[in-house]
Amino acid sequence: METRRITVLSAGLAVPSSSRLLADQLAASAERQLSAAGYQVTVDVVELRDLAVDIANNFVTGYAAPRLAEVISGVEASDGIIAVSPVFSASYSGLFKSFIDVLDPKSLEGKAVLLGATGGTDRHQMVLDYAMRPLFSYLRTRIAATGVFAGPQDWGNPDDGGSPLSVRIERAAGEFTLLLEGTQPKHRPALLESLPFEQLLAGISGGR
């Protein structure tokens, strides 16, 4: 049985977070549909707020702390990504973009991506097509045609699986599943270890 590894990126800041709630529902639907298609599924959920300090330090130092490095490696090794961000100022959050910026841009090439967003009003739902989709298109990912936006009206009501949000989630996860079926793009080989300049210079001098 083939395995599909999915990394879920949730950029919510609150606890509990509507972005995490949406991310969990998208992941559950994708896992269920992939399992029904005959795949073994591994899901790794990443709360970006827990990495906020490490992400900021990475910009300053150029090096990722162990936990951040582990997450980056997990993203690069995954077959698919479920990315969910709250909407700030009509776009994805700064935390979400900062994490994407610390990744090697080429590391996401060819990966299947399912997009989600949450916000306080339905006017924000266009963030999916006018901010998130262009970002992941630039990174040359394969994006599910349906993105899922969840607003305040989508939470707090009993759901038997027939609510508008549930229907959107099932449809988007189904498209994501189709992207993950069959032959997948090969993962990029691990990059060579980067050594400090002083250490490289010492090695050169010692070889004379």
DSSP letters spanning 125-192: GGHIIIIIHHHHHHTT-EE-S--EEE-GGGSSS--SS-SHHHHHHHHHHHHHHHHHSS--PPPPPPPP
Task: Give the pLDDT band of residue 154 (cuts 50, 70, 90).
Answer: confident
Q: How confident is the model at residue 208 (pLDDT cuts 50, 70, 90)?
A: very low
Indicate the number of domains in the chain.
1
* Lowest-pLDDT choice from 6-10, 71-75, 191-195: 191-195
Q: Compute the distance between CA of residue 6 and CA of residue 173 in angstroms, rounded to an integer.
A: 12
49 backbone dihedrals φ, ψ, rounded to 5°: -60, -30
What is the domain range of residue 188?
3-206
CATH number for position 152: 3.40.50.360
Percent of the chain with pLDDT over 90: 75
What's the confidence (pLDDT) of residue 156? 73
Q: Name which residue leads in pLDDT, 194 or 11.
A: 11
Q: Is the pLDDT of residue 191 over 50?
A: no
CA angle 22, 25, 31 (to 5 degrees): 140
Q: Cα(86)–Cα(95) distance, rounded to whole angstroms?
A: 10
Indicate whether 190 pLDDT > 80: no
Beta bridge mates, 5: 42
Which pLDDT tens digit goes with each residue over 14-67? Answer: 988 999 999 999 999 999 999 999 999 999 999 999 999 999 999 999 999 999
The structure's pTM equals 0.87
pLDDT tens-place string over residues 65-96: 999 999 999 999 999 999 999 999 889 999 99
